[in-house]
């Protein structure tokens, strides 16, 4: 079946530190890959996406590259801020699977001053 595996949290960083949240996937076809962010008490917001191998999604200083050879889509940011504290979800959609998202379990990020 299709699945997404994320590193467990919480991840606690100091402001301006480098962030990596690992995400790997298993899929029967060729998925599109996404990172969503959930701030406390809110719904999910799309952070970035990549629809084919070697694509790089980027937004608000976050980046992730679709690596087909390692089936990975790791999220990175060079310098985190306190306002980045949230839960981050990696997700995939299979081509031909409608818009049905398969999510990882989420990684909570806490950024401290």
Partner 1 sequence: NAGVMQNPRHLVRRRGQEARLRCSPMKGHSHVYWYRQLPEEGLKFMVYLQKENIIDESGMPKERFSAEFPKEGPSILRIQQVVRGDSAAYFCASSPAVTQGRTEAFFGQGTRLTVV
Tell which one of 86, 93, 109, 111 touches partner 1 (CB under 8 A).
Answer: 93
Q: What's the min distance (Å) between Cβ of 27 and partner 1? A: 11
Binding to partner 1, residues 42-71 (CB under 8 A): 42-46, 49, 51
Which pairing describes strands 107-112 and 11-14: parallel, antiparallel, or unpaired? Answer: parallel
Task: Verify binding: residue 96, partner 1, rule CB under 8 A.
Answer: yes
Extract the runs of DSSP E, i.e. beta strands, from 31-83.
31-38, 44-50, 56-59, 62-65, 75-77
Q: What's the min distance (Å) between Cβ of 15 and partner 1? A: 27
Q: What's the min distance (Å) between Cβ of 22 and partner 1? A: 15
Pick 36 or 62: Cβ nearer partner 1: 36
- Output the six-digit token pair for 67: 């690596």
Q: Which residue has the tokens 């081509």?
A: 95
Binding to partner 1, residues 14-43 (CB under 8 A): 31-32, 36, 41-43
The Cα 112–Cα 19 span in angstroms is 13
Q: Which residues of 11-20 are buried (b: 16+ CB within 10 A; e: fewer)?
A: bebeeeeebe
The site for partner 1 (CB under 8 A) is made up of: 4, 31-32, 36, 41-46, 49, 51, 89, 93-106
């Amino acid at each position: 079946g299709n699945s997404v595996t994320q590193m467990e949290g919480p991840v606690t960083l100091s402001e301006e530190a480098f962030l990596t949240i690992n995400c790997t996937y298993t899929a029967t076809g060729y998925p599109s890959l996404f990172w969503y962010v959930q701030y406390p008490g809110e719904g999910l917001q799309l952070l970035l996406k990549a629809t084919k191998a070697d694509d790089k999604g980027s937004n608000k200083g976050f980046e992730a590259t679709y690596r087909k050879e390692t089936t990975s889509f790791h999220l990175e940011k060079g310098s985190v801020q306190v306002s980045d504290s949230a839960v981050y979800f990696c997700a995939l959609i299979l081509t031909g699977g409608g818009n049905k998202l398969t999510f990882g379990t989420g990684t909570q990020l806490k950024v401290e001053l």
